[in-house]
Amino acid sequence: MIHNPLLTPWTAPFGLPPFQDIRAEHFEPAFAAAMQEQLDELRHIATQAAAPTFDNTVAAFDRTGRLLSRVAAVFYNLTASETNPELQAVQRRMAAPLADHDSAIYLDAALFARIDGLHAQRDTLGLTAEQRRLLERVHLDFVRAGARLQGSARARYAAVMAELAELTTRFAQNVLHDENAWRLVLRTEADLAGLPDFLRANARQAAAERGVPGGHVITLSRSLVVPFLTFSERRDLREQAWRAWTSRGEHHGPADNREVARDILRLRHEQARLHGHACYADHALADTMAGTRSAVQRLFDEVWPRALQAVQREREALVEQMAAEGQGGDIEAWDWRYWAEKVRQARYAVDDAEVKPYFRLEAMVQAAFDCAQRLFGLRFVPRPELPVYHPDVKAYEVQDAQGQAVGLFLQDNFARPSKRSGAWMSSLRWQNRNAPSAMAELPVILNNNNFAKGAPGEPTLLSLDDARTLFHEFGHGLHGLLSDVTFERLSGTQVLRDFVELPSQLFEHWLSEPEVLRAHARHWKTGEPMPEALMQRLHAARQFNQGYETVRYTASAIVDMAVHARTDAEPPADLCAFEADLMRQQGLPQGVGLNHRLVHFQHLFAGSAYAAGYYVYLWAEVLDADGFDAFREAGNPFDPQLALSLRRYIYGSGNSLEPGAAFEAFRGRKPTVTPLLRKRGLIADAAQPA
């Protein structure tokens, strides 16, 4: 075989791959070899003569597939951050074989029999808490993948899952189709009325990409349509854009998602029934921190009525502003953002152009490092000589207070055509002490952002939202870097989906601390700290329009839960009518709307990870708001005792603790929803939680 750098031992520090030698053509043979290697490892476990023990079966299972996970980690990081047509072609070709490989693992009856037997005796095996957690987690992974099903149910389950994979792909492609099929061409200065410079520039770029030279084009991409609805003075054009945006997936023809979504719901119901659940929501929630529909409903009950009251107060302010500008009539859905922006300018006078010079990228990176140092004693030491996949990637060795390495952090901050949009954390290696080599493995963690790079000789300046994203992803990064567990399956961010946003959302709070801003938010030219008055205006504007945002988000979360909680095998005949009826019952005010309607709700139907799971952001926000309050109560945002316990129970424990118990161990009690309500301005500011 020709030399394949993916299959040779990686000898660089922290086991970094030899990025400079890796080509697209290396992946398929490497995947094939790595999958075979894991199958051999699994056969060895399943067919050994020795009776099952935790060590020869469960811990051994955790050690399998390391070659595959290291090849896959390089592959997925490259396809996300530095892709090309060759890699994309490999990605399409590998999707099916990799899915089949997963099925081969989780439907291996002999392997499952050993794990299932141990699981049944788990109380008498003398396991440590983490060993027991691993056994329960691995067992549940098998069960939820269908390992318990027998005979025809087993075959039917595989068919349901295959059909779901096909339908969710089609759903996403249909949304993309409708987004690409619509454009609003702005031809005259009158069409552009109200649009700020950055939006004109983006609309010119969109026009150039679509062969409308010299023109301006608004598409249904969120980054164009939302600012257009916010700034355009043309009510008629706002209405056109709004109607196109909210009817994605609802047009007769080959891209109609109404039946696709119904087919997905029908199959999910069948999937849940095969697992013995009454509805899909019960199946999805069984593996979450919330656990039950009633726990999620209690959160909705706390938030929804208060958000409705807040949105009513906001509507009054908007109508006042309309009247002040001599406009009568009612607020329609395509008016809200426009008038909200006018009120924001009038009341808080917060302007991005005024804020950005204080948020130089390098200073904000230092701010995040500084917070990690003050909380956890970490130091970030640049290692520019290490191999990375793109010159923009910065490598840092992360050291503890004693100068011992705890991991490697790679930060890739800039947008480029070879990178997908958004911001995310990923890993090249999870921290664990269960490697086949018997060596403890330190984590290699990545953060990707999509900041627009400053022109040559100019600094990269962030908006407040950008800086928050930087801190958010860095919070996920710390969750990976501070992981201190034995088993790979329990490491870092591999936790339940309604817990995973806690470390990231929590870390955002430190960015808003006045002492952090005073130290790091300095004008890039003069070095002057941000004026106190500007800081106060930023603080005051934080709760602005939160009623609107909360209602739109929660409405979509309520629809998600309701549509997945039905116990009828047959989905509603008309999903749009189901959604409209439900929102009428819930009292969704006219002029507000949902974040996502079912016909284009990609969280729910472009995959299954967030089906009956759109609530998770709000769930985690209860935890982060309450968690940060602990520091407030201590009177010190860097209180050393609290930081120690935060590291131990939240950032360091991975999935080795039950998440509710982990939070309680940190906070000293169960979470309360009050801090979240206060943070969003849904209750008066004065009350402190008991």
Residue closer to Zn ion, measured from CB, 131 or 469: 469
Residue closer to Zn ion, measured from CB, 65 or 443: 443
* Rounded Cα–Cα distance for residues 278 and 271 (Å): 10
User: Which region among 109-117, 133-141, 499-507, 512-520 touches Zn ion (by CB under 5 A)?
Assistant: 499-507
Give the helix/strand (H/E) hosting 141.
helix 129-144
Q: How far is the CB of 343 from Zn ion (least distance, A)?
A: 29
* Rounded Cα–Cα distance for residues 319 and 326 (Å): 10
Pairing of strands 184-186, 216-218: antiparallel
Residue closer to Zn ion, measured from CB, 530 or 622: 622
Q: How far is the CB of 470 from Zn ion (least distance, A)?
A: 12
* Rounded Cα–Cα distance for residues 614 and 564 (Å): 11
Residue closer to Zn ion, measured from CB, 108 or 501: 501
* Rounded Cα–Cα distance for residues 4 and 22 (Å): 8
Residue closer to Zn ion, measured from CB, 81 or 131: 81
Q: How far is the CB of 504 from Zn ion (least distance, A)?
A: 4
User: Which region among 124-132, 150-158, 322-330, 501-509 touches Zn ion (by CB under 5 A)?
Assistant: 501-509
Residue closer to Zn ion, measured from CB, 318 or 462: 462
User: CA-based Rg of the chain, rounded to a whole angstrom?
Assistant: 26
Residue closer to Zn ion, measured from CB, 184 or 364: 364
Q: Classify burial at 635, counting beta carbons within 10 Å of its beta carbon; exposed 0-12, middle 13-18, buried 19 or more.
A: exposed
Distances (CA, A) of 330 to 258, 293, 311, 318, 590: 31, 37, 15, 10, 10
Q: How far is the CB of 500 from Zn ion (least distance, A)?
A: 7
Residue closer to Zn ion, measured from CB, 52 or 475: 475
Would you call 549 a catalytic residue per the annotation? Answer: no
Q: Which of 16, 22, 31 is nearest to 3 (CA)?
A: 22
Distances (CA, A) of 458 to 354, 449, 453, 461, 487: 17, 19, 9, 9, 45
* Rounded Cα–Cα distance for residues 501 and 475 (Å): 9
Report residue 484 as tokens.
């201190």
Q: How far is the CB of 427 from Zn ion (least distance, A)?
A: 14
Residue closer to Zn ion, measured from CB, 498 or 501: 501
418: Cα separation from own chain's centroid = 20
Q: How far is the CB of 25 from Zn ion (least distance, A)?
A: 34
Q: Which of 609, 607, 611 is nearest to 166 (CA)?
A: 607
Residue closer to Zn ion, measured from CB, 62 or 624: 624
Distances (CA, A) of 63 to 69, 435, 439: 11, 6, 12
User: Which region among 106-114, 355-363, 502-510, 586-594 touches Zn ion (by CB under 5 A)?
Assistant: 502-510
Cβ 161 vs Cβ 271: under 8 Å: yes
Q: How far is the CB of 464 from Zn ion (least distance, A)?
A: 17
* Rounded Cα–Cα distance for residues 84 and 67 (Å): 24
Residue closer to Zn ion, measured from CB, 179 or 501: 501
User: Which region among 130-138, 317-325, 504-512, 566-574 touches Zn ion (by CB under 5 A)?
Assistant: 504-512
Count of residues interacting with Zn ion (CB under 5 A)? 2
User: Which region among 47-55, 345-353, 430-438, 500-508 touches Zn ion (by CB under 5 A)?
Assistant: 500-508
* Rounded Cα–Cα distance for residues 333 and 240 (Å): 11
Distances (CA, A) of 260 to 26, 143, 161, 220: 37, 27, 15, 21
Q: Which of 671, 669, 562 is nearest to 619 (CA)?
A: 671
Cβ 624 vs Cβ 502: under 8 Å: yes
Which residues in 39-56 are b (16+ Cβ under 10 Å) and which e? bebbeebbeeeeebebee
Which residue has the closest beta carbon to Zn ion? 504
Report residue 205 as tokens.
């770029």
Q: Where are the beta strands (DSSP E) in 197-276?
A: 216-218
- Determine, following the binding rule CB under 5 A, whether residue 449 of this chain makes contact with Zn ion: no
Q: How far is the CB of 426 from Zn ion (least distance, A)?
A: 12
Q: How far is the CB of 481 from Zn ion (least distance, A)?
A: 15
Q: How far is the CB of 219 from Zn ion (least distance, A)?
A: 26
Cβ 516 vs Cβ 679: under 8 Å: no
- At 143, the amino acid letter reads V
Q: How far is the CB of 675 from Zn ion (least distance, A)?
A: 19
Of 41, 473, 501, 508, catalytic: 473
User: Which region among 383-391, 445-453, 493-501, 548-556 touches Zn ion (by CB under 5 A)?
Assistant: 493-501
Instruction: Kindly identify the residues of this chain, within the stretch 242-281, that bind Zn ion according to CB under 5 A.
Output: none
* Rounded Cα–Cα distance for residues 62 and 52 (Å): 15
Q: How far is the CB of 480 from Zn ion (least distance, A)?
A: 12
- Determine, following the binding rule CB under 5 A, whether residue 493 of this chain makes contact with Zn ion: no
688: Cα separation from own chain's centroid = 30
Sign of CA dihedral 5, 11, 15, 18: negative
Pairing of strands 216-218, 444-451: unpaired
* Rounded Cα–Cα distance for residues 174 and 167 (Å): 10
Dihedral angle, C-alpha 616, 497, 226, 82, nearest 10 °: 170
* Rounded Cα–Cα distance for residues 230 and 228 (Å): 5
- Determine, following the binding rule CB under 5 A, whether residue 504 of this chain makes contact with Zn ion: yes
Residue closer to Zn ion, measured from CB, 65 or 475: 475
* Rounded Cα–Cα distance for residues 640 and 634 (Å): 10
Phi, psi of 641 (to 5 degrees): -65, -45
Residue 455 is given by DSSP the state P
Cβ 351 vs Cβ 534: under 8 Å: no
Q: Which residues bind Zn ion (CB under 5 A)?
A: 501, 504
Which residues are tagged catalytic? 473
